[in-house]
Amino acid sequence: MRPYVNITVPVLASLLLGACGASNSPAAKEESEVVHGAAPTTYAIVDDNIRHDTLLIQTTFDMGDGSFVMVAGNVDPTFEGIRLYRYKAQPDSTGEILAASSPGYDSWTMLPTFFPITGRAGEHLVLANFGERESWGQKLIRMDTGFTDLGFLDVAYPERITEDDTSYVKRTNIGPHSRLTMKGDTAVFTFDCDSLFLYDDMDGGLDQMVPAASVRYSWHTATGLMIWRDGRQRPVKPLS
């Protein structure tokens, strides 16, 4: 479980100003050249359209091809927690389960953001937001005839919150701000926002607020998931 981090607005401002000040550095040049790819596709959220004795459904997405993806857990909670299920609804309100993802374990959310792959009918890359009250990051999943885990993006969107006289940053879902570019068989994710909360840069840096333009992720079958920070490439630890 990620520790809670409370960052006040003045501290946040100083971090961002410090990052912007190095305008002549190679990192700044790298940031200025970021070109974003496709935004995620928004699929309609629909009411539950199946009955299932053992599943408690949180959210259902209509994929537009006769199939649906639901976020669901067991009616009787277990350590495995929630999963993504792709299914087809039947006339008698039962569901033909086509595929199920690996579990979210003790996460309360596994909310997916969908990126269709052009030229590959029915294939998507999915960023599944994990967390409880805040985001822990995104699992990268390939969804075709099944669900395949590809790695974990250790980033969250820093949402500025003001409650009464207190201002703080809440780490929320980066999925809607993510952008996908396909370069041949390599998938590249960038982030269309000003800043990110980066849990692990795979080089000893933990729990940092960083310019979003300084970070991207790439995935290829030969290399697995890689993080690029200020132009430097490092492998992401495999999912255990």
Percent pLDDT > 70 in the chain is 86
Give me the residue spans of the domains in the chain: 9-235
**Comparing C-alpha atoms, which of 146, 171, 192 is closest to residue 40?**
192
pLDDT number for residue 30: 45
Encode pLDDT of 54-65 as tens digits.
788 899 999 999
pLDDT tens, position by position, 124-151: 999 999 988 899 999 999 999 999 999 9
Per-residue b/e over 172-210, b at no fewer than 16 CB within 10 Å? bbbbebbbbebeeeebbbbbebebbbbbbbbeeeeeebb
Q: Is the pLDDT of residue 2 over 50?
A: no
The SS3 call for residue 214 is helix
pLDDT exceeds cutoff 80 at 20: no
Average pLDDT, the chain: 84
Q: Is the pLDDT of residue 162 over 80?
A: yes
pLDDT higher at 120 or 78: 120
Query: What CA–CA distance (Å, rounded) separates 145 from 140?
Result: 16
pTM value?
0.83
